[in-house]
Amino acid sequence: MTTTPTFSRRSVLAGGAGAVAVTTAAPGARAAVDHDVFQHGIASGDPLPRRVVLWTRVTPTAAATPGSGRGPRVTVTWEVATDRRFRDVVRRGRVRTGPARDHTVKVDATRLRPDTAYFYRFTCRGETSPVGRTRTAPARNATPAGLRFGVVSCANLQAGWFSAYRHLASRDDLDAVIHLGDYLYEYAPGEYGHGQQNADIRPHVPAREMVTLADYRQRHAQYKSDPDLRALHARHPFIVTWDDHEITNDAWRDGAENHQADEGTYAARRAAAHRAYDEWMPVRMSGTVATGDGTRLFRTLRFGALAELSMLDLRTHRDQQASTPAPSPVPSPAGGADGTITGRAQMDWLKRRLRRGGPQWKLVGNPVMIAPVTFAQLPHDLVDPVNDVTGLLPRDGAPYNVDQWDGYTADRRELFEHIRDQGLRDVVFLTGDIHSGWACDLPYDAATYPLGDSAGVELVCTSVTSNNLKDITGTPPRTSSLAVEAVIQTNNRHVKYLNFDDHGYSVLDVTPERVQMDWYVISDRTDPRARSSWTASWATRSGTNTVQAASAPVGA
């Protein structure tokens, strides 16, 4: 998520605690848990037809806290069964872990049946973990009637409670949860919290910006101590990618906006962040579950003949963001920056995935927005607040956010031309990052659309808790934001839906006939018991490459 030089989170949002009064544990306090050994829950991820990643973290002694480097090496037993009582155990194994991998456990449970629900658990030092539920993907050539995914991004623990995760965990109808990045945030307490006053609803641990391996491990541990996130991990497999805050703000290949010389080398910081992510997330890095050596996060997961999901990594391989926006008034694929956001190897891989043949729906897990956005000048007092949410509006009125695909138009042009040359239909980009909900067509030429064709559609989920426009302006929902949304939609006819004000989650429903996203909002991110309600649905029908409003949500 970008922050602009004129309205940076560090300089403008830092306002100390105040404004919001909530009850929270003291910094560093251990979250209430039901297990001494399995304090950080269990998780599964990256489901394939015959295997799934299983994860946990053990605390074998009181001294073996996350990031401490202390504690003995221990043996952990894992089991997979077809029933919750484990009367029919189909796979089991043993794995050693210790301080070298921060006492995390990550295994690939293999030789499973496709499209099947399983239960799993771990045992260590006489204690058994909570029971988790997971599901394998359909067989490669299967023709499932439908798929359903939770879609989330941008969960800042300092900005609120993770009620969105709790509501997704209550659903029985999800094949997996797609997390599109900013799973956790790097900031110290008081740097980036809740709204105008920057109040810390729950202060970060450690009480500093995370820079070292120990810092990243402790922050991952704090997030996985959240009961709503633990419940969601235990209920559904995750499919994840990172954006920038898993490392630091506005990261690129060799640096980041939020990295200073006194914080050591960026290479060391990024290596620490990647290692902790590899250890603490149920994900295959570089195609393996062996922690500590994973460097490649972009990968593909197939769900029978119905859909293929390509998860992108748009931080590790990108060139540095341009220092100023390009001069073109219309950031269409016809011109723009020559830098790469994907890197050559990832672009070639993505183009191979987006080809004729293969599964019907080509889904792309896309950490930053790909739809082009241009606009007339907004009222002066709204420019900075919109910047902090989206990065879309440099103060001189230039047209785009250089941290997303609008700043790398050569890559976008190459990708869109490939889609057009291949004659592809049914391409859907699933996006997070910008703390707002969008449904867009992807025009080959934004200036003349809708006279031209579309490369596909983009569906953007809101943030779980991270600040949106109403939070920054301090205005009631659906007031000043309406003017911003109207300006953007008037100047971008391919933007069909836009909501700058709500927090929550989305549910993506995939059938042979259409892909539909339903947006759900939570009532109050400062309330750990926040309610959830449906707010909008948009769908793209097969073969159309355009998005239209739908009348009702699907499923539960």
Report the CATH number at residue 88.
2.60.40.380
Closest CA to 178 of 435, 456, 365, 315: 365
- Residue 413 — φ and ψ, nearest 5°? -60, -45
Which pLDDT score, from 0 to 100, does residue 384 have? 63
For CA atoms 389, 391, 396, 398, the dihedral sign is negative
Per the CB < 8 A criterion, the answer to whether 518 and 507 are in contact is yes
Residue 555 lies in a domain: no
Do 308 and 405 belong together in one domain?
Answer: yes
Task: Note whether 54 and 19 are same-domain residues.
Answer: no
Does residue 556 lie in a domain region? no
pLDDT, residue 286, reads 84
Kindly state the helix (H) or strand (E) to which residue 124 belongs, with its residue range.
Answer: strand 117-124
The pLDDT assigned to 322 comes to 85
Tell me the residue range of the domain where 84 lies: 31-136
Does residue 351 form part of some domain?
A: yes
Q: Of the residues 68, 101, 136, which one is the last residue of a structural domain?
A: 136
Pairwise CA distance, residues 537 & 506, whole Å: 9
Residues 107 and 153 in one domain: no
| pLDDT the model gives residue 195 | 73
Cα separation, 444 vs 457, in Å, equals: 12
Could you tell me if 177 and 210 lie in one domain?
yes
Q: Which of 108, 136, 164 corresponds to the end of one domain?
A: 136
Cα 443 → chain centroid: 24
Number of other residues whose CB lies within 10 A of the CB of residue 293: 10
Is 323 within the bounds of a domain? Answer: yes
In a domain, 325, yes or no: yes
Whether 15 and 105 share a structural domain: no
d(C-alpha 425, C-alpha 418), whole Å: 12
Q: Which token pair is 89? A: 């155990």
Q: What CATH number has the domain bearing residue 170?
A: 3.60.21.70
Same domain, 469 and 534: yes
39 and 25 housed in the same domain? no
Q: Over the chain (556 residues), what is each successive 10-residue block's mean pLDDT?
A: 35 27 34 76 98 98 98 98 98 98 98 98 97 98 97 97 98 98 97 83 97 98 98 98 97 96 96 97 88 84 98 97 54 56 98 94 98 70 63 45 91 97 97 97 93 96 94 87 90 95 97 98 97 98 98 82
Residue 176 lies in a domain: yes
Pick from 136, 167, 196: which residue ends a domain?
A: 136
Structural domain includes residue 554? no
Q: Looking at the structure, tell me whether residues 148 and 275 fall in a common domain.
A: yes
pTM beyond 0.85: yes
Beta strands 104-109; 52-57: pairing state: antiparallel
For residues 406 and 517, membership in a common domain is answered with yes
CA distances from 369 to 180, 366, 486, 538 (A): 11, 7, 19, 17
Q: Are residues 46 and 167 in the same domain?
A: no
Rg (Cα) of the chain, in Å, rounded?
22
**Residue type, position 160, single letter:** G
In a domain? residue 65: yes
Give 189-247 pLDDT, tens digit per residue.
999 988 777 789 999 999 999 999 999 999 999 999 999 999 999 999 999 999 999 99
Number of domains in the chain: 2
Q: How far apart are CA 456 and CA 515, in angstroms?
A: 12
- For the record, the structure tokens of 215 come out as 């810092």
**181 in the same domain as 107:** no
Pair (83, 195) in one structural domain: no
